[in-house]
Amino acid sequence: ESAHQGTLERERLSVMPLLTGYHQMQAEAPSQTASVAMIERLRKGTT
């Protein structure tokens, strides 16, 4: 969705860099289980 006009982007050249960035973040993100464990440790004040 375009941030400026609220319209759905369909142009491949506009969408591909965003999709690539999204997939890179997904690949680098910890698993849901690891994320929950990290949050629990942080809440307890341990690392």
Q: What is the pLDDT of residues 1-47, one digit of tens each?
A: 556 667 777 788 878 888 899 899 988 899 999 999 999 999 998 65
CA 18, 23, 24, 29 dihedral sign is: positive
Specify the pTM. 0.47
Domain assignments of the chain as residue spans, ordered by start:
12-44
What is the reported pLDDT for 14?
79
What is the reported pLDDT for 2?
56
Cα dihedral angle (32, 36, 38, 41), rounded to 10 degrees? -170
